[in-house]
């Protein structure tokens, strides 16, 4: 069975903890103009067809062709909404967007310094909000606007970060369930090859683990 695009992004022993999207409010606000245009075009086409019956076929054809414009735009917005995902794994947090051309931004949980949540009264009522992730990486901060289930997202991220920090400090090997320091160093090397860890960070953590042997 072919792997999905999200699955292809995962490293060895990396597991998805939570997936969410922008709230459906965002989708409705984005396609609202297209919905109005569709209604206006349909009503205008019907009205013209009633009053100008002589050219009913031409009016219907022109109305249909014009109708395709807002419909195509609406389909594009829906696809963009459905393909924009915010993902937490046991190692990092990712933002994936794009229908055909994919754009992936991720931050290592190890580098996350703080997570800020902003929720309006309406957001608390309908369970959406903004999440800002402050990191020690070159990206600095990632802002996820109007995502669904922001509190659960923040909680899952902090819990995953805590587990990762604890496992890194104790030398816990997720695959075997034991304190296997050589295996953990191999995982660190894998993260370095993926660009998640810098050479300096890899060297420091490797030295810390070797000191525990």
Q: 3-class secondary structure for 83-106?
A: HCEEEEECCEEEEEECCCCCEEEE
In 75-177, the DSSP E strands lie at 85-89, 92-97, 103-108, 112-118, 128-135, 141-148
Task: Report pTM.
Answer: 0.70
User: Spelled out in words, what is the top-level CATH class assigned to the domain 1-22+86-156?
Assistant: mainly beta
Q: Which of 207, 202, 209 is nearest to 181 (CA)?
A: 209
Provide the residue-wise pLDDT of the chain in tens; the chain has 213 residues.
446 888 888 887 888 999 999 999 899 989 999 999 999 999 999 999 888 888 888 989 999 999 999 999 999 999 999 999 999 998 888 899 988 888 888 888 888 888 889 999 999 999 999 999 887 765 556 889 999 999 999 999 989 888 887 776 655 555 444 456 677 777 777 777 776 677 877 787 777 767 665
Domain range annotation of the chain: 1-22+86-156, 26-81, 171-213
Tell whether the torsion through CA atoms of 125, 143, 154 and 30 is positive or negative. positive
Neighbours of 51 (CB within 10 A): 8
CA distance 213 to 210: 5
Backbone phi, psi, residue 92, to 5°: -155, 170
- DSSP per residue, 33-57: HHHHHHHHHHHHHHHHHHH-GGGHH
């Amino acid at each position: 069975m072919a792997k999905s695009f999200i699955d292809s992004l995962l490293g060895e022993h990396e597991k998805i903890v939570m997936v969410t999207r922008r709230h459906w409010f965002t989708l409705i606000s984005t396609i609202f103009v297209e919905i109005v245009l569709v209604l206006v075009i349909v009503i205008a086409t019907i009205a013209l067809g009633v009053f100008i019956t002589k050219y009913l076929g031409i009016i219907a054809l022109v109305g249909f062709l014009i109708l395709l414009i807002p419909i195509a735009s609406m389909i594009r917005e829906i696809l963009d909404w459905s393909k924009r995902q915010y993902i937490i794994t046991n190692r990092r947090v990712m933002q994936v967007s794009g229908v055909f051309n994919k754009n992936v931004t991720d931050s290592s949980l190890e580098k996350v310094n703080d997570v800020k949540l902003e929720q309006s009264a309406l957001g608390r009522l309908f369970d959406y909000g903004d999440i800002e992730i402050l990191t020690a990486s070159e990206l600095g901060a990632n802002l996820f606007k109007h995502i669904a289930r922001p509190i659960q997202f923040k909680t899952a991220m902090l819990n995953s970060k805590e587990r990762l920090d604890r496992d890194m400090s104790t030398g816990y090997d997720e695959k075997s369930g034991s304190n296997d320091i050589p295996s953990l160093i191999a995982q660190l090397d894998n993260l370095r090859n993926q660009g998640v860890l810098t050479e300096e960070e890899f060297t420091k953590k490797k030295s810390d683990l070797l000191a525990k042997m």
